[in-house]
Amino acid sequence: LIKSQRVQNKLGIVFEKEKDKSQRKDFIFASAKKREAFCQLLQLMKNKHSNQDEPDMISIFIGTWNMGSVPAPKSVASWVLCRGLGKTLDEMTVTIPHDLYVFGTQENSVCDREWVETLRAVLKDQTELDYKPIAVQTLWNIKIAVLVKPEHENRISHVGMSSVKTGIANTLGNKGAVGVSFMFNGTSFGFVNCHLTSGNEKIARRNQNYLDILRLLSLGDKQLGSFDISLRFTHLFWLGDLNYRLDMDIQEILNYINRKEFEPLLKVDQLNLEREKNKVFLRFAEEDISFPPTYRYERGSRDTYVWQKQKATGMRTNVPSWCDRILWKSYPETHIVCNSYGCTDDLVTSDHSPVFATFEVGVTSQFVSKKGLPKSSEQAYIEFESIEAIVKTASRTKFFIEFYSTCLEEFKKSYENDSQNSDNVNFLRVGWSNKQLTTLKPLLSEIEYLQDQHLLLTVKSVDGYESYGECVLALKSMIGSTAQQFHTYLSHRGEETGNIRGSMRVRVPAERMGTRERLYEWISVDNDETGGPKGKSTMVSRVGHDYVKQSVVRKQLGELGKVTEEGERNSKEEITLRPKQDPSDGDSSISKNSYNNPAYYILEGVPNQSAAAISPELLPSPTSSNPPAAKLPPSSAGVRIKPPPATSGPPHPRRPGTAQECSSGDDGGAGVVGQGGGGGGVLGTVGGTMNRPPPDFPPP
């Protein structure tokens, strides 16, 4: 089943006629609800007669490699098996096939067909499976190839591809990005492979490359034109030769590498520094780096870095750096765990080492209740009591909010705001009461369906309909008989542009309240100092579930469903299997506060002040985990903020989460495509979960 994203009541059905042959027919229903009811009936029929369950979790391999314009060696097995340096996979689980393989390459001179056949051959040799290529996109020598396990081929739909040039004058394709997007059942995925500007000193140019790609790459659901690609997908992965360098003397760098002391180098890594300033990769996550810099090696060896390069303009210094990276961004309250992140040490044809990462990702499928179809027509409702937003603008126009979600029969918008004021010329606070906010009606009313859904919001001006900020909310934490609070940040074209908070509830009829546990919700973590060796993802226990045998039993089961403060990673862990505690129970970790956004001070009623103007001794350390003793007072003259005193410490790494679904027309491959939103039910390892305040809000 292929649900059209442009036409809400259109459904494509692909019929298998013979082996490798199929026929597609399109149907138009009276409404989106009628279409959904038909899909439920078909899924119910399949559940009754088929012994094949739909997965609620899949494993993804992602690799990036600058091949240096030289063909790859005959075997790249160490790359696909995640063997080498850093956080690698345990020998017991390393050969278990992944569900998806994504290969991003730069300076790859091999033709597309030959390259795909090379990848298929190595996967066949290692897994004995014939992986199916679902997308290959090329821009000059920048390539991305996605291959899927044969059993999942019909679960892929809405495949889209795009590319962006960022070379000289943004017209040459020697630098730029290629991207692929698709739906896996009901979960949207986006993958971007890029090659950014080189040169130690060209940080600003690399930052601009990233923003251009974010703005111009045409992927995902075309109805989400107000949102950049970082919000269009349940899970977005960004990989490639980002070319960010280390700001340190070459001899110091070599000394630290020889001693395997990477922490001082990571503190001067340009990408880390730019992310801390919110210049690039806003609220993206990256696994801890525990492998040496992957560039610039002497070809034919991994023992020597060659840091001088003769160019036409003279001798150029290329300090050893982590140029090759893999980052990701996911919707709040979705399940994603990075099980490995490292580089090979035996592929020496290029001056870059290949980098790999593997992920366990929660996915959704066509929903149908275990109880069967509902017996009543009672409707669930999404109701807002109030919304207040701070937007970065000197304009004093009126604003409205647009609401988007695949769980809605149609997209809605609010009336214009009924309150607004400003204490700072560059920011405006706008508010909507419940009278200005529309009630939203989801397509289905079952709680287990709504727990997987997400709502995209965009704040637009009445003059010109221009978006001033976008965000995503998870419905899971909003379900209940009383209204729940939400806080999150607004962004636009990769820049943080304000904050938004409010009160809402998802009201579900009593008879629709049944829930089911997902596989990853039964996997919990206990710390145990007797765990496996550092840097290895070890599997400690096998679970007697068919899907677990294929997927969960793989690398680092010990980290699945991990609920942790950022930076508190421990590779010495064992797992126990038990129902996962609800994230709302007990003391769960709260995002640390940076107090670096002037929008926060306006929202809290501090007049004529911005973060930059506030005395440093009044600001808490970014590493402080202690919440303020009390809420800040309402706006009044002379109000001063006095959080706990500052303490020294390293900046807190950002590990965020947000994104949305996809499409590139409705002619993608077959697959039962349910509603958007991936997995759900656990905090995972990315921030933004539970719709907690972003770092610019203090906890209550």
C-alpha dist (Å) from residue 580 to 55, 75, 518, 521, 681: 19, 41, 10, 5, 9
Percent of the chain with pLDDT over 70: 72
Q: Among 512, 547, 562, identify where a domain stops.
A: 512
Residue 605 has pLDDT above 90, yes or no: no
* Residue that terminates a domain, selected from 469, 491, 512: 512
Given a cut of 70, whether residue 606 has pLDDT beyond it is no
According to DSSP, the residues that pair with 442 across neighbouring strands are 408
Q: Do 328 and 422 share a structural domain?
A: no
- Per-residue pLDDT at 553: 37
**Main-chain dihedrals φ then ψ at residue 643, nearest 5 degrees:** -75, 180
172 and 213 part of one domain = yes
Do 44 and 75 reside in the same domain of the chain?
Answer: no
Residue 636 has pLDDT above 60, yes or no: no
Domain shared by 112 and 137, yes or no: yes
Same domain, 38 and 144: no
Lowest mean pLDDT among 110-114, 300-304, 590-594: 590-594
Q: What is the mean pLDDT of residues 630-645?
A: 37
Are both 41 and 71 inside the same structural domain? no
What is the pLDDT of the chain when averaged over all its residues? 80
CATH number at residue 96: 3.60.10.10
Domain that holds residue 465: 381-512
What pLDDT is stored for residue 8 in this prediction?
92
Whether the predicted pLDDT of 383 surpasses 80: yes
Residue 238 within a domain = yes
In this prediction, residue 621 carries a pLDDT of 43
**Coil, helix or strand at residue 511:** helix
Let me know whether 115 and 178 are in one domain. Answer: yes
pLDDT-based confidence at residue 95 (cuts at 50, 70, 90): confident
Residue 537 maps to a domain:
no
Q: Among 31-40, 235-244, 279-288, 503-512, where is mean pLDDT lowest?
A: 503-512
Same domain, 108 and 168: yes
Residues 91 and 69 in one domain: yes
pTM of the model: 0.78
Tokens (6 digits) for 668:
């993608």
Lowest mean pLDDT among 103-117, 436-450, 508-522, 530-544: 530-544
Do 252 and 299 fall within a single domain? yes
Please state, in angstroms and rounded to a whole number, the distance separating the CA atoms of residues 555 and 552: 8
Please tell me the predicted confidence (pLDDT) of residue 501.
Answer: 98
Does a structural domain hold residue 689?
no
Q: What is the pLDDT of residue 516?
A: 61
HEC assignment per residue over 425-438:
CCEEEEEEEHHHCC
Q: Is there a single domain that holds both residue 108 and residue 219?
A: yes
Same domain for 262 and 118, yes or no, is yes
* Segment 467-470 long-range contacts (CB within 8 Å, at least 24 positions apart): 467/226, 467/492, 468/391, 468/392, 468/393, 468/399, 468/492, 468/497, 468/498, 469/389, 469/391, 469/392, 469/497, 469/498, 469/500, 470/226, 470/227, 470/228, 470/231
The answer to whether residue 555 sits within a structural domain is no
86 pLDDT band, cuts 50/70/90, is: very high
Domain count, the chain: 3
